[in-house]
Amino acid sequence: MVFEFPQIIKDDVAVALQEDLGGELRCENDITANLIDKDATARAHIITREAGILCGQQWASEAFYACDSAVQLQWHKEDGDVLLPSDRLLSISGNARAILTAERTALNFLQFLSATATTTHRYAQFLSDVKTQLLDTRKTLPRYRQAQKYAVVCGGGTNHRIGLYDAFLIKENHIKACGSIQKAVEKARTMAPDKPIEVEVESLDELNQAISASVDIVMLDNFNNEQILQAVACADGRCKLEVSGNIVEERLRELAQTGVDFVSSGALTKHVNALDLSLLIE
């Protein structure tokens, strides 16, 4: 799997390295690495100490190349691959100083993005044999929206809208400010007729208003299972239905069995634990 925005990767990695190197991308600023002879070479490996799903190899590669363009990298796993404890992910050969300067930045990206992919994979397993799709949200770490959205796909999830520009999501405060669901939807359709329109509702009455406005998707916010079943019957295929709010793993199968089209969860990108990875020099 390949992330198709190379400039984002370069920018992400440059900012991370600059943070480590005193505000400028000068590897000479790594005073600890300077203890090593400048011409010394080394061979190292990145391994995982726990199971998970790999994501972030392009960011890790860029971190090493940014510190030494001549470094040699051999990936043993690809983004989206299942990892088992002690698996070797990457072998690195090159200047010893550069490898150690890039080490933490490379691992940070790998651990963080693999954590997102791993959490997504765990959730997606509950929906693997049903039509209901698992969606992410905009609850991502600032600066890393595209990276985490990519990690969700690596883990088997599906991206919701990327940001505030590619789809309408009309929520409670938008409805109040516009005057009604109908008015908000009419304005959206006039402004950008090619953009999908989704409305978040908190009751069956609001659901009926959204259906009457011919929206594409209705988000059922914090509905219990009985209310969701009523909503599915009410919609009767006239729009797609998404469930959001209080989405925990134990509830996913129940939600899928109601017949909704989507389940979205912010946990995929914000309730994650870094994968335990290590870089070891031979």
- Specify the pLDDT at position 252: 94
Contact assessment for residue 199 and residue 180, using Cβ atoms and an 8 Å cutoff? no
The Cα–Cα gap between 137 and 13 comes to 24
> Which of 81, 200, 242, 261 is the catalytic position?
200
Clarify whether 202 is annotated catalytic.
no
- Specify the pLDDT at position 138: 96
pLDDT tens column, 134-192: 999 999 999 999 999 999 999 999 999 999 999 999 999 999 999 999 999 999 999 99
pLDDT tens column, 40-77: 999 999 999 999 999 999 999 999 999 999 999 999 99
> Which of 10, 145, 171, 270 is the catalytic position?
171
- Specify the pLDDT at position 250: 86
> Which of 43, 221, 270, 276 is the catalytic position?
221
> Which of 77, 139, 240, 251 is the catalytic position?
139
Contact assessment for residue 13 and residue 62, using Cβ atoms and an 8 Å cutoff? yes
Length of the chain: 282
pLDDT exceeds 90 at position 198: yes
- Specify the pLDDT at position 257: 92
- Specify the pLDDT at position 39: 96
- Specify the pLDDT at position 109: 98
Contact assessment for residue 158 and residue 135, using Cβ atoms and an 8 Å cutoff? yes
Clarify whether 236 is annotated catalytic.
no
The Cα–Cα gap between 64 and 98 comes to 7
Residues 6+ apart with CB under 8 A from 253: 126
pLDDT exceeds 90 at position 229: yes
The more confidently predicted of residues 245 and 145 is 145
Strands 41-48 and 88-95: antiparallel
Clarify whether 104 is annotated catalytic.
yes
Angle between helix axes 57-67 and 96-124 (nearest 10 degrees) is 170
At 105, the pLDDT band (50, 70, 90 cuts) reads very high
- Specify the pLDDT at position 1: 84
Q: 19-29 burial, b for 16+ CB within 10 Å, e for fewer?
A: ebbeeeeebeb
Clarify whether 221 is annotated catalytic.
yes
- Specify the pLDDT at position 120: 97
> Which of 77, 88, 104, 187 is the catalytic position?
104
By three-state DSSP, how is residue 48 classified?
Answer: strand
